[in-house]
């Protein structure tokens, strides 16, 4: 791959990087590290609804209100990862675009993808996810356009693949493990950072510790802990919020458990990843808490249902244990699961797949393989007809409803049913 090491590559990545959620904040960090390793100097434009500055946030975030002005100058657009392919309105409490002209929520993922097509910018689907929501009829042609004309469509699980493949039979959509499985490329467990060493010393985390998600649903584990089993006498708890934006707080666990520690601040994403990497295991509901532990060969005690949604992908990686509310934990069994072990074959394969993914992304950026801008020109060409047809259909629908409301005979009702059936096709 020929590469100009003298230039600075302008890379956009889109997601919800303006909210306090560990998994969301990881994706730009991972992308920047992996692409810098392959391309040299990279400037990451992290786009979300709301701008953030270094100091108040782990990194700068650019508001989507700025995207129209710079979309043409980008060398690549990455969509995701994370759970961002969605159409429902409730993303997080009060989370809305700064400008009502930006559609919610497709404004932070689908619209940027269409802008990349418009400007001939390589469009990369960076293992985003979709579950628990359907694609509305109005969005299907736009989503099909975006994935059919992207040279690289990777999604993080089979459920997302199935949902998107129902929109387009022509697009090549492949499953790629969540990019957080590559965290070990960024965090060296053999060489803890100075920041981590200082933290462990300052807060006297000098014994083996478990990372506990500061969220509810951990009653089974807390019952075990409060039983004061001798098997766990030399283990500490580090209680961490994983997604403060989702309401994570130590108070969700009830009375403070013995031999537990909370921090007076929320760690930066990489420091949080290091804290997980140096633990003996993790307990909680968070998807990216689980993935981070798996990436470092640690056990996961998961309070989420492993047979539902995105969590169905986790058991294949090994050492992912379901916390059951109706089944007490055996202390000897629990203690035996703790500690680091070699990565499972499935995890090793995930790391290999991610290495290949980033190689392919770098190649696409250098060769500037992208969709043809004429695709979006055709969409713009058709918009007046689309809007006119929508207006005509809405008018016909109103007329039919009015006639139905006014008529007592079955004839009008049958005509209304026929009209509805025709427009549903």
Q: What is the mean pLDDT of residues 59-76?
A: 97
**417 has pLDDT over 90:** no
pLDDT at 273: 98
Tokens of 167: 């929109």
**149 has pLDDT over 70:** yes
Q: Point out which residues pair with 282 in neighbouring strands.
A: 211, 300
d(C-alpha 58, C-alpha 284), whole Å? 24
d(C-alpha 352, C-alpha 403), whole Å? 63
Tokens of 109: 């993922």
Rounded to 5 degrees, φ, ψ at 294 are: -60, -40
**89 has pLDDT over 60:** yes
Confidence of residue 132 (pLDDT cuts 50, 70, 90): low
User: What residues have CB less than 8 Å from 399, skipping those under 6 apart?
Assistant: none
Name the nearest CA neighbour of 178 among 268, 80, 277, 271. 80
Q: What is the mean pLDDT of residues 188-208?
A: 94
pLDDT at 395: 73
pLDDT at 407: 62
Element (H, E) at 261: strand 260-262
d(C-alpha 416, C-alpha 400), whole Å? 6
Bigger pLDDT: 152 vs 380: 152
Lowest-pLDDT range, 4-13, 177-186, 269-278? Answer: 4-13
d(C-alpha 127, C-alpha 80), whole Å? 6
pLDDT tens digits along 23-34: 999 999 999 999
User: What residues have CB less than 8 Å from 282, skipping those under 6 apart?
Assistant: 210, 211, 212, 213, 276, 289, 290, 292, 293, 298, 299, 300, 301
pLDDT at 400: 72
Distances, alpha carbon 425 to alpha carbons 130, 287, 402, 421, in Å: 25, 39, 22, 7
Average pLDDT value over all residues in the chain: 91
**413 has pLDDT over 60:** no
pLDDT at 309: 82
pLDDT tens digits along 222-272: 999 998 888 899 999 999 999 999 999 999 999 999 999 999 999 999 999
d(C-alpha 226, C-alpha 223), whole Å? 5
pLDDT tens digits along 271-291: 999 999 999 999 999 999 999
Bigger pLDDT: 337 vs 387: 337
Q: What is the mean pLDDT of residues 143-150?
A: 93
pLDDT at 411: 57
d(C-alpha 57, C-alpha 240), whole Å? 18
pLDDT at 377: 73
Query: With left for phi above 0 and alpha for psi between -120 and 50, is residue 55 left, alpha or beta?
Result: left
d(C-alpha 269, C-alpha 155), whole Å? 22
d(C-alpha 301, C-alpha 249), whole Å? 19
Lowest-pLDDT range, 181-195, 230-244, 377-391? Answer: 377-391
């Amino acid at each position: 791959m020929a590469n100009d090491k003298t230039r600075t590559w302008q890379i956009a990545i889109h997601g919800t990087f303006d909210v306090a959620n560990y998994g969301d904040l990881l994706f730009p960090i991972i992308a920047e590290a992996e692409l810098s390793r392959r391309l040299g100097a990279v400037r990451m434009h992290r786009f979300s609804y709301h701008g953030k500055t270094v100091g108040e946030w782990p990194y700068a975030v650019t508001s989507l209100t700025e995207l129209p002005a710079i979309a043409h100058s980008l060398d690549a657009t990455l969509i995701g990862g994370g759970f961002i392919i969605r159409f429902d309105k409730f993303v997080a409490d009060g989370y809305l675009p700064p400008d009502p002209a930006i559609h919610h929520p497709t404004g932070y993922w689908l619209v940027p993808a269409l802008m990349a097509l418009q400007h001939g910018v390589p469009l990369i689907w960076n293992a985003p996810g979709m579950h628990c929501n359907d694609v509305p009829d109005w969005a299907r042609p736009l989503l099909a356009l975006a994935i059919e004309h992207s040279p690289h469509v990777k999604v993080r699980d089979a459920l997302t693949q199935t949902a998107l493949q129902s929109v387009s039979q022509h697009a090549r959509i492949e499953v790629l493990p969540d990019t957080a499985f590559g965290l070990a490329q960024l965090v060296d467990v053999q060489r803890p950072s100075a920041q981590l060493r200082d933290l462990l010393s300052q807060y006297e985390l000098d014994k083996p510790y478990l990372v506990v998600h500061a969220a509810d649903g951990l009653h089974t584990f807390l019952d075990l802990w409060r039983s004061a089993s001798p098997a766990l006498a030399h283990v500490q708890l580090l209680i961490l919020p994983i997604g403060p934006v989702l309401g994570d707080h130590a108070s969700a666990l009830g009375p403070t458990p013995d031999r537990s520690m909370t921090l007076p601040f929320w760690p930066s994403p990489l420091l949080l990843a290091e804290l997980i990497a140096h633990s003996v295991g993790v307990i909680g509901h968070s998807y990216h808490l689980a993935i981070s532990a798996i990436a470092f060969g640690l056990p996961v005690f998961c309070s989420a249902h492993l047979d539902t949604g995105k969590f169905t992908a986790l058991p294949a990686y090994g050492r992912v244990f379901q916390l059951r509310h109706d089944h007490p934990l055996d202390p000897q069994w629990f203690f035996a699961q703790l500690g680091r072990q070699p990565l499972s074959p499935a995890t090793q394969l995930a790391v290999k797949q991610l290495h290949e993914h980033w190689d392919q992304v770098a190649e696409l950026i250098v060769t500037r393989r992208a969709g043809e801008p004429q695709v979006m020109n055709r969409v713009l060409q058709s918009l007046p007809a689309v809007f006119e047809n929508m207006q005509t259909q809405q008018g016909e629908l109103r007329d039919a409803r009015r006639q139905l409301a006014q008529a007592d005979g079955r004839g009008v009702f049958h005509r209304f049913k026929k009209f509805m059936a025709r427009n549903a096709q």
